[in-house]
Structure 1
Amino acid sequence: MTTNKTTKSKAGAKTAAKRTTRKSVKQENKHIGLVKNDSWLEPYEDAIRGRHEHALWKIAQLTRNGKKTLSDFASGHLYFGLHKLAKGWVFREWAPNATEIYLIGDFNNWQESPKYKCKRIEGTGNWELKLSEKAIKHGDLYKMKVKWNGGEGERIPAWCQRVVQDEQTKIFSAQVWNPEHPYVFKKKTFKPDISPLLIYECHIGMGQDAEKVGSYREFQENVLPRVKKDGYNAIQVMAIQEHPYYGSFGYHVSSFFAPSSRFGTPDELKEMIDTAHKMGIAVIIDVVHSHAVKNEVEGLGNLAGDPNQYFYPGERHEHPAWDSLCFDYGKDDVLHFLLSNCKYWLEEYHFDGFRFDGVTSMLYYSHGLGEAFTGYGDYFNGHEDDNAICYLTLANKLIHEVNPKAITIAEEVSGMPGLAARFEDGGYGFDYRMAMNIPDYWIKTIKEVRDEDVNVCSIFWEVKNRRPDEKTISYCESHDQALVGDKTIIFRLIDADMYWHFKKGDENEMVRRGIALHKMIRLVTLGAINGGYLNFMGNEFGHPEWIDFPREGNGWSYKYARRQWNLVDNKELCYHLLGDFDRRMLEVVKSQRNFQNTPVTEIWHNDGDQVLCFMRGDLVFVFNFSPTHSYTDYGFLVPTGSYEVVLNTDAKEFGGNGFADDTMTHMTNYDELYVKDRKEWLKLYLPARSAVVLRKL
């Protein structure tokens, strides 16, 4: 728990931070790393340095000038909440505005009693209650009864690690969790193989065929084997932190330290993660630190009569678009809560990293709403929340201190420079940022551009549009594009014909077009990655329809809040053709060592022909986006040698026409003009609306 710093200690921390800054960012070159890597940032170097120095000052303050570590600071979950001791129990809560706090629950008939009355720890805003071993037991339900000047209310403790909902009353309560035989991880250490990082974005509850809420155990048994077979090496799990409303997709969090009980027990989540690790699959949690649910009884909205205990006051208190509350990242106690939350998920559940949701909303006072971000000046014009920037920087420092192999990903749409750059260079320290421009580009192209007008130069530029010093996660579509009000790529391409012509042998032209472009869009996006690739579960095989969670407007139905695996398993339908292609596509990419780090070398593009060719390592990617023109002996200058076909979107096994003979080895043709370059002509037959990948032998 942090305490207020004196002016003297704060000044000392600042002095130490400045001294460290001079050493870490100036060195022999006058420019900080971000500016060295991008000279267009030079006019904003003072702002970049200011943010860096702010983070250094805060680190010095929280670690007492290096006497502790950030990990030491971020251990609130070991102190606050309910814990079993060698003898008895201890409960603690931070509630500076409270005047009295009682624990009420099954153990005292939900009544206030002196035995369960907390005591304020002198000189702090913390409360503590020590109980005998028999005072409470595993499985008991409980809450806090909090009183403050002018009011009182029942509350779920902010730091509690288990919350359950009564099926009849729908009321949430904290639950004592201390099983006699807690789950013990079998896989003690795990080093993810992320070369490249291939993410299967998923949701536990909707990860099964049945019209219900799926469980951790069902996901472990039914979905993890599919992920492994399909070739993905990471899952990004949504909606883990407890949330009152299932339909929020997990983005209105109430209990930040409690894994959602809708899907099972904490031990079952641990077993699921352990099983994933045994399969070689990393597990990333979709963490929500950008805002919190407004609920007061279940959440942090008014824990002890002070609605601003965790959140900004005044106009910044509520998020104008999300109907939620905005954390005050300028408070050390809030930093303590959120940083401890990061460490908790790493150590208690062995998660391998985080995808931070809503980072754009955190970075700007405007939450990025209504802003265009057309130039660098838009990132340094004084409307940025330096407290939030500092928190994100500290979170990355902490996470990699606790686990150097951990993965951090930022979901950020504005393009803030430095987000996924090294901290030492003045960056915020994320390992990756989401390439959110790519799905937007594909949606716009499919909606607005005729097939015969598709510009391959534009495609190539868009899938490579990123800062050279920041790795990205490329994707064609995520869960965002599958929700009600939007459409998946397959539905944009085929629409209602999905229902009537997706049986093999019964495809019409709309379906054939959709199947061809679905594969090509994925291949060109994956082929140009510089970090990782993401797919939302089911989209790889063209899962039909949208995602719609149970709500009043649909009669509380689970029909669209599930994944119909029976479709891809049915060999009479076209879905399995897309699934088979996706699996083979990942195999090809993984066959090239460190594929994500190999240069993307353009070989050829011709917008008139709608043909694009580029090379990565020994792999040559060729695309013919023309809907009507096939080309014979279309030539490309490539390194001299022999080439074999390793993937063809037009192969019959993937729902294509099978026009080309992919068994033949392609030899380059001599041209004396290019002898010095050691290049010759590779001539190929390119069917309309198809792509092929070749490997140099």
Structure 2
Amino acid sequence: MAHDYFGGLTGWDFEGFHSGGDTEIWKKFGAHHITVADDEHGSVDGVRFAVWAPNAQAVQVVGPFNWWTGDDLRLIPGSGVWGRFLEGLEEETLYKYRIQGPDGVWREKVDPVAAFSEQAPANASIVYKSRYAWSDDDWMARRSEARPHAEPMSVYEIHLGGWRKGKSYLELADELVEYLTWQGYTHVELMPVSEHPFEPSWGYQVSGYFAPTSRFGKPDDLRHLIDKLHQAGIGVILDWVPGHFPKDEWALGRFDGTALYEHADPRQGEHTDWGTYIFNYGRNEVKSFLVSNALYWIQEFHIDGLRVDAVASMLYLDYSRDEGQWVPNQYGGRENLEAIDFLRYVNRHLYEREPGVLMIAEESTSFPGVTKPVHEGGLGFGFKWNMGWMNDSLRYLQLDPVYRQYDHNLLTFAMVYAFSENFILPISHDEVVHGKGSMLNKVPQDDWRKFATLRAFYSYMWSFPGKQLVFMGSEFAQRPEFDESTSLEWWVSDLWGHGGLQRLFRDLNHIYREHPALYELDNDPEGFTWINADDAGHNALSWVRNDSAGNHVACITNFSAEPLRDYSIGLPAVGTWEEILNTDSLHYDGSGQHGNLGAVEAEAEPWGHFSARARVTVPPLASVWLRRNAQP
């Protein structure tokens, strides 16, 4: 053979992989269509294969190019990596690895670092080389200078297969971009698009960490969708799942016949609730694999942020385990020290490599310092989902208005810890599945009260400290629960109530983005001042949001079925306060009982801790926002 058998790879190329320091493993592992020097022909084209299987007795690559009979790979000296260059292979050819484990059994496996895969239920890996030319230079330049905590962020969470069933990445690049632009969201969050075998897992059980699912097209088609979103000024967040992976025999599990990516001990290596394996975060090669995967999506697909799924399951060794079914750490505690070190590593690395990127933790416990910098002892995330706010506010929402006064603290308690982390307020897919009911059906009583309550709730949410996230379909109050096998019920957005709520979401997003008082100081106590936190008898809450330039937005929400007329509030400045939102407007399918005639006057009369006082009318189950700009 006249050319290099390993396509230019040597054992030295994998030193970083074995030390946990290689953060770009996709450039060496997987299948790469390359040109290599050849003594006879000068150069030849082909595909270089490389796969980590240190305990294997033998490894073959199989595909249509060898009638699925197998070409032998060899161990690259000193690496535990098997490789081979095969000349003449075309791009987009299918392949798998056949691996003989230490037990002598041959197992057929897909490539852990494949860039593309067959569409489920088929699973062969596909040789793929991107030729996409990006057109989002302006967006990427702005991202590198971004200050996410001081900028608006309203996120639309989406399951690509269920938004409009049957749409491809290319079709979504037109339809989704147009819709998000009209609605005014700043970001879209994609539920995992990494290749996965089981559609009802929604992508949370990943079999191809480096391969976008082929259900909607090719990898460059996804790049086109992201590019179009960026050109429209919309950021893209991707759900990332480093906490566990499925047990499918052809995927990562027991990859070379041994527990390679996962812990061998089921007390550390399996989630019995989910039927999945847990990554071995203490293994350097696993660290390299996962941190490279995170960087891969950000660099190769221009993803703007990663929402890390199920962080709590990573942090605690006893997560969802009975006594005696878990192994304490070296100090006898329940914290998973290796996972904590890994999360700190990936967060620190990504923020250093890609300024402006978003790292978001879906973490449901009170673990301290989730969004505290690593150098200060934190986990280093940029944001954390505020699951406490979500649980409390949804409990309140489901109460009949006459009983809400007895649980008023459900809406006020979140301010006790509002500035302890950098929060995102999530109303996600998890809240509208598995018998929990849609948002509309959580609310008691008739349709008028249901829609009015939702309008008040979302305005309360959009004015509360923290960024916002809402799941698709919630913006027009779809009645059924989320079902990935069908499209959203778009037709209802033409109906009374549904269309009004959808129009409100559009206005909420645009008003929010136009007023820095609603977002600039989200993580600073100076950005929020209670007007009245204690009016449980009226089911009312009121506060002022402030920005650094001295502008104010006063937000008053009435969660009772009775109007608040001539309701006395304190305000930080005298003069005219313009009404910029009233959720009872006829435009939103409300009753149109405004009462404030577009503005209220604040008099120089002390009220509580404020220097001015005004009287405002707030319709039943409604919110009113008032604006007072700083004087020039």
**Shared fold, TM over 0.5:** yes
- For 2:322 and 2:178, locate their aligned partners in 1 and report how far apart those are by CA, in whole Å: 43
Instruction: Quickly say closer, same or farther: Cα 1:370–1:415, change in 2 above 3 A.
Output: farther
- For 1:682 and 1:400, locate their aligned partners in 2 and report how far apart those are by CA, in whole Å: 46
2:545 matched residue in structure 1: 616
2:115 matched residue in structure 1: 161
- For 1:678 and 1:439, locate their aligned partners in 2 and report how far apart those are by CA, in whole Å: 30
1:86 matched residue in structure 2: 35
C-alpha RMSD over aligned residues: 2.6
- For 1:272 and 1:98, locate their aligned partners in 2 and report how far apart those are by CA, in whole Å: 40
Q: How far has the Cα of 1:687 moved from its partner? A: 2.4
Counterpart AA for 1:519: R
1:577 matched residue in structure 2: 500
2:574 matched residue in structure 1: 640
Alpha-carbon contact 1:643-1:665 (below 8 Å) kept: yes
Q: Deviations over 1:264-306 (max 9, x none)?
A: 1001000000000000111111000000011121x10121111
Instruction: Quickly say closer, same or farther: Cα 1:462–1:542, change in 2 above 3 A.
Output: farther
**TM-score of the superposition, structure 1-length normalised?**
0.79
Alpha-carbon contact 2:11-2:77 (below 8 Å) kept: no
| Secondary structure of 1:464 counterpart | helix
Q: How far has the Cα of 1:574 moved from its partner? A: 2.4
Instruction: Quickly say closer, same or farther: Cα 1:107–1:239, change in 2 above 3 A.
Output: same
1:51 matched residue in structure 2: none
Structure 1 residue runs of 5 or longer lacking an equivalent are 5-57, 64-69, 372-379, 495-508, 550-557
Alpha-carbon contact 2:195-2:206 (below 8 Å) kept: yes
2:480 pairs with 1:566: no
Q: How far has the Cα of 1:463 moved from its partner? A: 4.2
Alpha-carbon contact 1:640-1:678 (below 8 Å) kept: no
2:589 matched residue in structure 1: 655
Structure 2 residue runs of 5 or longer lacking an equivalent are 1-8, 37-44, 324-330, 522-526, 547-551
Out of 280, 283, 302, the residue aligned to residue 254 of structure 2 is 302
- For 2:321 and 2:472, locate their aligned partners in 1 and report how far apart those are by CA, in whole Å: 29
2:58 pairs with 1:130: no
| Secondary structure of 2:162 counterpart | coil
2:376 pairs with 1:442: no
2:535 pairs with 1:606: yes
Superposition pairs of residues 72-221 of structure 1, within 5 angstroms: 73-87=22-36, 88=45, 89-112=47-70, 116-132=71-87, 134=88, 136-149=89-102, 150-165=104-119, 170-178=121-129, 182-189=131-138, 190=140, 191-192=142-143, 194=148, 195-208=151-164, 212-221=165-174
Q: How far has the Cα of 1:460 moved from its partner? A: 3.8
1:55 matched residue in structure 2: none
Alpha-carbon contact 1:624-1:689 (below 8 Å) kept: yes
Q: Deviations over 1:582-611 (max 9, x none)?
A: 111122222222632432100113112222
Q: Deviations over 1:28-57 (max 9, x none)?
A: xxxxxxxxxxxxxxxxxxxxxxxxxxxxxx
Counterpart AA for 1:582: F
- For 2:318 and 2:520, locate their aligned partners in 1 and report how far apart those are by CA, in whole Å: 36
1:555 matched residue in structure 2: none
Q: Deviations over 1:341-394 (max 9, x none)?
A: 0111111111111000010000001125689xxxxxxxx971010000011111
Out of 461, 467, 481, the residue aligned to residue 525 of structure 1 is 461
Q: How far has the Cα of 1:326 moved from its partner? A: 0.4
Counterpart AA for 1:103: V
| Secondary structure of 2:249 counterpart | coil
2:181 matched residue in structure 1: 228
Q: How far has the Cα of 1:481 moved from its partner? A: 1.3
2:603 pairs with 1:669: yes
Q: How far has the Cα of 1:402 moved from its partner? A: 2.0
Q: How far has the Cα of 1:158 moved from its partner? A: 1.1
- For 1:648 and 1:370, locate their aligned partners in 2 and report how far apart those are by CA, in whole Å: 50
Instruction: Quickly say closer, same or farther: Cα 1:439–1:62, change in 2 above 3 A.
Output: same
1:25 matched residue in structure 2: none
Alpha-carbon contact 2:393-2:411 (below 8 Å) kept: no
Q: How far has the Cα of 1:143 moved from its partner? A: 0.6
Alpha-carbon contact 1:253-1:288 (below 8 Å) kept: yes
Alpha-carbon contact 1:81-1:93 (below 8 Å) kept: yes
| Secondary structure of 1:667 counterpart | strand
Instruction: Quickly say closer, same or farther: Cα 1:601–1:694, change in 2 above 3 A.
Output: same
Aligned residues: 583
Alpha-carbon contact 1:291-1:327 (below 8 Å) kept: yes
2:357 pairs with 1:406: yes
Alpha-carbon contact 1:187-1:277 (below 8 Å) kept: yes
2:277 matched residue in structure 1: 325
- For 1:545 and 1:348, locate their aligned partners in 2 and report how far apart those are by CA, in whole Å: 37
2:435 matched residue in structure 1: 485
- For 1:322 and 1:398, locate their aligned partners in 2 and report how far apart those are by CA, in whole Å: 29
Q: Deviations over 1:219-275 (max 9, x none)?
A: 222122111111111111012111000110111111111110011100100000000
- For 2:277 and 2:229, locate their aligned partners in 1 and report how far apart those are by CA, in whole Å: 34
| Secondary structure of 2:516 counterpart | coil
Q: Deviations over 1:2-48 (max 9, x none)?
A: 999xxxxxxxxxxxxxxxxxxxxxxxxxxxxxxxxxxxxxxxxxxxx
Alpha-carbon contact 2:10-2:77 (below 8 Å) kept: no
Q: How far has the Cα of 1:120 moved from its partner? A: 0.2
Alpha-carbon contact 1:637-1:682 (below 8 Å) kept: yes
Instruction: Quickly say closer, same or farther: Cα 1:265–1:611, change in 2 above 3 A.
Output: same
Out of 441, 460, 464, the residue aligned to residue 415 of structure 2 is 464
Instruction: Quickly say closer, same or farther: Cα 1:626–1:309, change in 2 above 3 A.
Output: closer
2:481 pairs with 1:546: yes
1:50 matched residue in structure 2: none
Counterpart AA for 1:357: D
| Secondary structure of 1:461 counterpart | helix
